[in-house]
Structure 1
Amino acid sequence: MSLVLRPYQQEAIDRTWEWLQDNDGCPIVDACVGAGKSIIMAAMMAQACECDPDARILMITHSSQLVQQNHAKLLNLWNDAPAGIYSAALKRKEIFAPILFATIQSLYKKAYDIGRVDLILVDECHTISRKDKTMWHTFLTEVARVNKGVRMIGFSGTPWRLGEGRLTEGQDAIFHGISYRISIMDLIKSGYLVPVTTQATGIRVETRGLKKTGGDFNIGQLSHAVDDRIEEAVSDFVERGRNRRTWFIFVPSVENCQHVRECLAKHDIACEIVTADTTETERTRILNGMRSGSIRAAVSVGTLTTGVDVPQADMIVGLRPTTSSALLIQMIGRVLRLSPETGKTDALLCDYAGWLATHGPVDLIEPPRPKGSGDAPKKNCPECETLVPIHVMDCPTCGYVFPENVQEKPKLRASDLAALSTDAKPVRVPVHNMRFRRNAGKNGKPDTLRITFHSQFQDFDKFLAFDPQSNPWARKQSGKIWSDMAFLPVHKTPPADMDEAMARTPELRVPHELTVLPVGKYPDIKEIHYE
């Protein structure tokens, strides 16, 4: 057994063994796409068997493709490893193998049949829900009942779930800590992944008004919204992808897939469709064709987000808006792998789905907060400053009627936001007017002064802290900004508290321009210019 691990892979293994020795519970190895989770798992299995030749190990995941890949990685590392597969999709049921690779769909009723288990490795552990009545919950509960000392390690590049938050948080958490983390930016800087770029072409498609199901956009409504724009989007990304070798395209529905393929055919570009119903044989043919270059484009719905290794892919087309940051990372991850044989130096993201505007640069995406963990959204009445729920249209204090936010549906264009935070460049935007509001502090934090600068196409917010209980550094920076904005020298002294700040807002002048860093949905104001 000989394998030269990358430095971070060896460190991940060492830290995880240390975590298990020092802690009860189950850790997660947070390793992004391209980090080589299958290699890390294979090396850990080999080490465990070296320490205890009688060790019984399970590697479980939701995908038969991942079962095949992870099994193959172990055999590449350890040719005569006592490994087997238990998966109905793969027509293999070697349930008594000392090292068993299995899909949860095939194994979840077999906890008593498989017997002794010492270590469980779960690939893509973010697929495990906290809900009781699931295959995962059934299996893990019963296998722990049979094996009192069993330990479990999760592996994922996105260790959180939509609507549930981090996998390691909460009283019902199945995992209890992160033993090691390697990020996308770490691997890009180390030369193990290529950077992803975007091209400035306009704004994203509007998704407001679409219903949500299970926390994400309703597929029926989303499919109609996307279908109306497919022809325009295809014409755009065909032009942008002329010098790109292999394309992944993500859409919400099978109907969208067919429409994309029809439109690409008009440009003399063949495109394959991959869905959850695509047979394993057909899927393998398509992916092998993409690797060899005989197939240029594949459009997918509900699949090709995990367990797919096509390093040659160098363009991704986002036509599938989503509120799931985990799904977004998985989709973009398809084009980040190195491909020295094709001369790939970067990957192009054509973001027609508003991914970057919704979630920000892919390397700065944070897990969502679980439902109910934050305050309901609110707004301030511009007349009396009463804080009311966001859906209220008539102020209960003064009777002010909030105007309806009716906007012309924007034309679909790929996003011009930076895909990586390091690629964002400051831009100057003119300011036409500004507005002041008292922004209510959350979770016991002091109120702040919210200044909204209005430009032609977008508003930009700056929050100033004057409450005596505010952070001293924040108060100092806010005082400097106030002094710079003052009309006259006599107005430069910063307010002593928030009441004084609200009373003195007429003393502040409207700036000429702002320098902003367009990162995600909350651009950062870097400078305020008055001439």
Structure 2
Amino acid sequence: MADLLTAGKMRLRDYQSEAVAATWDWMQNNDGAPIIDAAVGAGKSIIMAEIMRQAHSYQDDVRVLMLTHSSELVRQNHAKLSALMPWADSGIYSAALGKKDLQAQFLFGTIHSVWKKAYDLGRVHLILVDEAHTISRKQKTMWGRFLQDVTICNHDVRMIGLTGTPWRLDSGSLTDGDDRLFHGISYKIGILDLINRGFLVPVVTEPTGLRVDTSDVRKTAGDYNVGQLTGAVDRVTEEAVDDFIRRGGDRRSWMIFAPSIESAGHIRDAVRGRGVSCEIVTADTDSGARERILGALHRGALRSVVSVGTLTTGVDVPPVDMIVALRPTMSSALVIQMIGRGLRLSPGTRKENCLLVDYAGWLSRHGPVDLIEPPARKGSGPAPTKQCEQCDTKLPIHIMTCPTCGFEFPAVEKPEARLVASALPALSTQREPRRVRVVGVKYARHQGKNGKPDTLRVDYDTGIQTYRKWVPIEGELNARTMGRVWWSKAREPGNVNAAPASIAEALERAPSELRAPREIEIVPEGKYWSVKNMFYEAQA
């Protein structure tokens, strides 16, 4: 960690200070519990320690409870507070760590150990929840029972959640719904921002030509059935191991994610059979063995580790510079957490980036890691729809023939079992501009929002997808100038008429005065593609 610890004082990064200040501001102006959305590597333990320090400066008898699901996170978070406030009355309540200091002013605990102890804790002013996405909305859980009891004992207790993935596969965004436990995002710092600031390394991919086929794997509890998924992974294990060993030749430490202990054993044996050291870590691996394995991986004495249901949070092995995805999952949060294990800086090594070898289809299902968003909550929101490419009729997603104009939607081909998966970009900034052929153009009025003027919407039909450009015709001078430049490029050669002064005039003149480009260049902007340039037949 690049932060400096000097004489009990910690130098926070600028965004860490901003996160703390923004969260206090949110709590002063809102009821309920906020979330600090901080990606892997942001230093959530430092942010929490600073919240505790400031809370103590405001009220010297403040009682703060930090809870999470992981004993390793308890250990790490307690260590950060001890570095910042070595004089503080801090303690740990965790059976896994063999410590039960229930009365400390700043108490760090696992929910598994304290969930029945709400009435024994006494006064609590503030609860900090690390990895807040692990909390279910259901009341009949350890979290539900504890939060209900602690609120009975402390009617004015406040709560702050911290996570880099503020959503759950089973219930969507943590801040949506009447039964939500958190009520807003007080601050956000994402993966791409941390990469750009130099606090994380970028993740890169390479085409593999190999992919786990999940087309016949059924879903259980919202994700792939582990038993069937194990069989699907086993069918490609030998070929995948050959492939990632070759790709990882110049990589220092590998972390491999598998769906089950059975498949992990097959992967480990295949890796060892090719002369490469490999161990398995599962959720049931005892803490001593886990520390020995991860320590060897950190030192370079062990080349690879296969993870089953663990090593996704609370793990810091900076030298890891290759992530092998052999665990397909429907959980976008889990994908971010697994990729995140390879993004930490590793001073003293040659690590410049992290290679993601994506046999599991993480990128094809979930997209670039910095653009992944919460899934829609089950049972909420309208049914998915699509628009007819010919007449713009909105239709249910399953309709293949438009009842208005008869347009036939192209059939979606089922992918072959082993498609190239890793040719996709791992970060949105890695998507390259590309040129696509245009088969038709349509023009329409786009109504401006929030008082902004209407624009001319230009739809470029490529036969597979429609890309849109919004041309300013009315409004401020600068906008109108941009619109005139676009019009002059798009009009038929020899036409010297002045550009239209209104959207209505543009719609009237466009069909006869403007030509369809031969191709357009599209560039990535966030989750979408925008039209950058047009190429006409007369151009070279």
Matches within 5 A, 1:350-365: 350-365=357-372
Deviation at 1:36, TM superposition (A): 1.1
Structure 2 CA distance for partners of 1:29 and 1:401, relative to 1, 3 Å = closer
Partner residue in 2 for 1:215: 222
The residue that corresponds to 2:336 in the other structure is: 329
8 A contact 1:203–1:416 mirrored in 2: no
Q: Larger deviation: 250-259 or 407-416? A: 407-416
Q: What residue is the counterpart of 2:206 in the other structure?
A: 199
Counterparts of 1:284-303 in structure 2, within 5 Å, are 284-303=291-310
The answer to whether structure 1 residue 150 and structure 2 residue 125 are counterparts is no
Q: Distance in 1 between matches of 2:262 and 2:523?
A: 38
Give the deviation of 1:308 after TM superposition. Answer: 0.2
What does residue 4 of structure 2 align with? none
Q: C-alpha separation between the residues in 1 aligned to 2:263 and 2:488?
A: 54
Separation in 1, partners of 2:318, 2:195: 14
Aligned runs of 1:62-461 on 2, under 5 Å? 62-201=69-208, 207-208=214-215, 210-379=217-386, 387-392=394-399, 405-407=412-414, 409=416, 411-426=418-433, 428=434, 431=437, 434=439, 452-454=461-463, 459-461=464-466
Q: Distance in 2 between matches of 1:206 and 1:452?
A: 32
Structure 1 residue 147: deviation in Å? 0.7
Question: In the alignment, which of 9, 32, 44 is matched to residue 3 of structure 1?
Answer: 9
Q: Secondary structure at the match of 2:250?
A: coil
Contact kept in structure 2, 1:205 and 1:413, CA below 8 Å? no
Q: CA deviation at 1:452?
A: 4.8
Contact 1:83 1:99 in 2 (8 A): yes
Of 103-112 and 170-179, more deviation after overlay is shown by 170-179
1:248 match: secondary structure:
strand
Runs of 5+ unmatched residues, structure 1: none
**In the alignment, residue 462 of structure 1 is paired with which amino acid?**
Y
Displacement after TM superposition at 1:249 (Å) = 1.2
- Note if contact 2:312-2:337 (Cα within 8 Å) is conserved in structure 1: yes
Q: 1:55 to 1:371 in 2, by over 3 A?
A: same
Paired position in structure 2 for 1:17:
24
The residue aligned with 1:58 is: 65
**TM-score w.r.t. length of structure 1:** 0.83
Equivalent residue in structure 1 for 2:467, among 462, 466, 471: 462
Residue of structure 2 in register with 1:43 after alignment = 50
TM-score (norm 2): 0.81
* Secondary structure of the structure 2 residue equivalent to 1:235: helix
What do the CA deviations read for 1:13-65 (whole angstroms, capped 9, x no partner)?
23323333333322222211111111221232233334434322211001111
Q: 1:482-501 CA deviation, whole Å, 9 max, x = no partner? A: 997899999x999989xx99
Q: Which moved more, 1:345-354 or 1:392-401?
A: 392-401
Q: Match of 2:244, SS?
A: helix
Distance in 1, matches of 2:173 and 2:390, equals 40
Q: Deviation per CA, 1:334-365, whole angstroms, max 9, x where unpaired?
A: 11111111132221122222222333322222
C-alpha change, 1:276 and 1:333, in structure 2 (3 Å) is same
Distance 2:150 2:51 in 1: 21
Local SS of the residue matching 1:257: helix
Query: Kindly tell me: are residues 408 and 184 of structure 1, through their superposed partners in 2, closer, same or farther at Cα, counting changes over 3 Å?
Result: closer
Q: Which residue of 1 aligns with 2:535?
A: 529
Query: Do the aligned residues in 2 keep the contact of 1:335 with 1:347 (CA within 8 Å)?
Result: yes
1:304 shift after superposition:
0.6
CA spacing shift, 1:209–1:527, aligned 2, 3 Å: farther
Task: After TM superposition, give the deviation of residue 398 of structure 1 in Å.
Answer: 8.7
* Cα deviation code 1:400-432 (max 9, x no counterpart): 987764445153445122222223322x4564x
Cα separation, 1, equivalents of 2:443 and 2:179:
38
CA distance in 1, matches of 2:274, 2:375: 40
Equivalent residues of 2:26, 2:34 under 8 A apart = yes
Q: Equivalents in 1 of 2:526, 2:245: separation in Å?
A: 25
Q: How many Å separate the matches in 2 of 1:73 and 1:146?
A: 28
Q: Is the 8 A contact 2:8 2:86 kept in 1?
A: no
Contact 1:359/1:520 (CA < 8 Å) preserved in 2?
no
Contact conserved, 1:357 with 1:521, CA < 8 A, in 2? no
Question: Which letter maps to 1:461?
Answer: T
Q: CA deviation at 1:269?
A: 1.0
- The alpha-carbon distance between structure 1 residues 170 and 524, as it changes in their structure 2 partners (threshold 3 A), is same
Shift of 1:111: 1.0
Q: Distance in 1 between matches of 2:532 and 2:328?
A: 29
Paired residue secondary structure (2:329): coil
1:119-170 CA distance string (max 9 Å, x none): 1111011111222222212111110111122121111111222243332233
Q: Cα gap change, 1:406/1:425 in structure 2, threshold over 3 Å: closer, same or farther?
A: closer
What do the CA deviations read for 1:54-83 (whole angstroms, capped 9, x no partner)? 322211001111112212222233334322
TM-aligned CA distance change 1:322 to 1:482, over 3 Å: farther
**Contact 2:211–2:420 (CA under 8 A) maintained in structure 1:** yes
Q: 1:273 to 1:181 in 2, by over 3 A?
A: same
Deviates more, 1:233-242 or 1:355-364: 355-364
SS at match of 2:521: strand
- Letter of the 1:79 counterpart: P
480 and 305 in structure 1: CA distance in 2 versus 1, 3 angstrom threshold: farther
Q: Equivalent residue of 1:197, what SS?
A: strand
For residues 233 and 485 of structure 1, what CA distance do their matches in structure 2 show? 50
SS of aligned partner of 2:466: strand
Higher mean alpha-carbon deviation, 163-172 vs 517-526, is at 517-526
Whether the 8 Å CA contact 2:321–2:355 is kept in 1: the answer is yes
Q: How many residues align?
A: 522
Q: What CA distance in whole angstroms lies between the structure 2 residues aligned with 1:518 and 1:238?
A: 32
Contact kept? 1:233, 1:412, Cα under 8 Å:
no
